[in-house]
Structure 1
Amino acid sequence: MKKPLVLIAAVAAVATPVLAQNAGQIASVRSGHDCRGCNLFQGDFSNIEKRGLNLTGSRLRQADFSLAVMNRTRFANTDMRDVEAYGAVFSSSNFSGANLTNASLVGAYLEGSSFAGATLTGANFSGAQLARATGLTQRQLNQACGDEATTLPGGLHIPAC
């Protein structure tokens, strides 16, 4: 009799989303509130205009920032894997220590933003403006890609996508 109970418990554990998004936290950020260490997984932040938010240490994996304007936002040490940020404006934002693996930042405006220690593996910066970005290294950029329209700080280059 114990075997069916164990099987039911195992199936329930697999079906339960352990790290699902927090809709209340997403709504709070969309309203312009700071949310350090929040679970914003797959949040829709497209087309919003907020500045100076503190999202340090938050989980933003697979979030949508398309056409968002979020200048001076703190994304330090965030999980931003697989984010979509087509045409987003993040001037003077802090991405230090952020994980931007496979992020799509096509056409993003990132002037004055800091990328010290950020993981850029597979990130697409095609057409992105990064000429005044800080903390970028050639080693980071070798793991990312861009195109002829990508602007970078002097002396740095990025592989083609």
Structure 2
Amino acid sequence: MKRILAVIAIFLSASAAAYAQDASQIARVQAGQSCPGCNLFQAELGYRDLPGIDVSGSRLRQANLALSTMNRANFDNTNLSLANLFGARFTSASFRNADLTGATLVGAYFGSANLSGAQLSGANISGAEMTTATGLTQSQLNGACGDASTLLPAGLHVRPCR
């Protein structure tokens, strides 16, 4: 029995290490360097100006990007689930096939951003400016919620948040 528990403990610690954030990769991004495919779990990137940064394919789950400016950034295929994007600016950024499940996009600006295939299930887009965003579909918005100040491309709507 002790041997089985030891094996389970080793397996669980190895699994946890595989998902832990990488402080050196987070520091690179905080310094403005691109880091595609990096593990940026719970990274603190709020209040930063990171134009053109490439974090495509990265893990930014539960990261804080509040009030940051990331114009022309590449978030393609990035896991941004449960991330805080409150009030951030993403002019011409690309979020193709990004996972924004449960993310907070309240008051964020997505002018000319590409949201093709982005997963918005459970996301709060209240007050977000998405009028000129491209690739946004009604089926994506059906899983999200917003409010009267949410600005969407013509013909699209979002249910109110409760």
Q: TM-score range by the shorter chain?
A: over 0.9
Cα distance in 2 for residues equivalent to 1:8 and 1:103 = 37
Cα distance in 1 for residues equivalent to 2:12 and 2:97 = 31
Please state whether the residue corresponding to 1:113 is helix, strand or coil: coil
Cα distance in 1 for residues equivalent to 2:3 and 2:142 = 51
Cα distance in 2 for residues equivalent to 1:8 and 1:50 = 44
* Correspondence for 2:94: 94
Once the two structures are aligned, what percentage of the paired residues are identical?
Answer: 47
* Correspondence for 1:27: 27
TM-score (structure 2 length as normaliser): 0.95
* Correspondence for 1:72: 72
Q: Deviations over 1:30-71 (max 9, x none)?
A: 101111111111111011111001111111111000111111
* Correspondence for 2:12: 14
Cα distance in 1 for residues equivalent to 2:23 and 2:90 = 23
* Correspondence for 1:123: 123
Cα distance in 2 for residues equivalent to 1:31 and 1:100 = 24
Cα distance in 2 for residues equivalent to 1:150 and 1:89 = 15
In the alignment, residue 148 of structure 2 is paired with which amino acid? E
What are the equivalent positions in structure 2 for 1:30-41 lying under 5 Å apart? 30-41=30-41
Cα distance in 2 for residues equivalent to 1:70 and 1:129 = 15
In the alignment, residue 34 of structure 1 is paired with which amino acid? S
CA apart distance, 1:13: 2.6
CA apart distance, 1:12: 3.5
Specify which of 3, 6, 21 is matched with residue 5 of structure 1. Answer: 3
Q: Report how many aligned residue pairs link the two structures.
A: 159
CA apart distance, 1:14: 2.4
Q: Any runs of at least 4 consecutive aligned residues in structure 1 with deviations exceeding 6 A, and if so which?
A: none
More off after superposition, 5-14 vs 41-50 = 5-14
Please state whether the residue corresponding to 2:123 is helix, strand or coil: coil
Asked if 1:51 corresponds to 2:74, the answer is no
In the alignment, residue 103 of structure 1 is paired with which amino acid? A
Q: Deviations over 1:94-120 (max 9, x none)?
A: 001001100100010111101101111
Please state whether the residue corresponding to 1:14 is helix, strand or coil: helix
* Correspondence for 1:143: 143
Backbone CA RMSD of aligned residues: 1.0
Please state whether the residue corresponding to 2:102 is helix, strand or coil: coil
In the alignment, residue 131 of structure 1 is paired with which amino acid? T
Cα distance in 2 for residues equivalent to 1:13 and 1:46 = 34
Cα distance in 1 for residues equivalent to 2:127 and 2:72 = 21
* Runs of at least 5 residues in structure 1 that lack an aligned partner in the other structure: none
* Correspondence for 1:62: 62
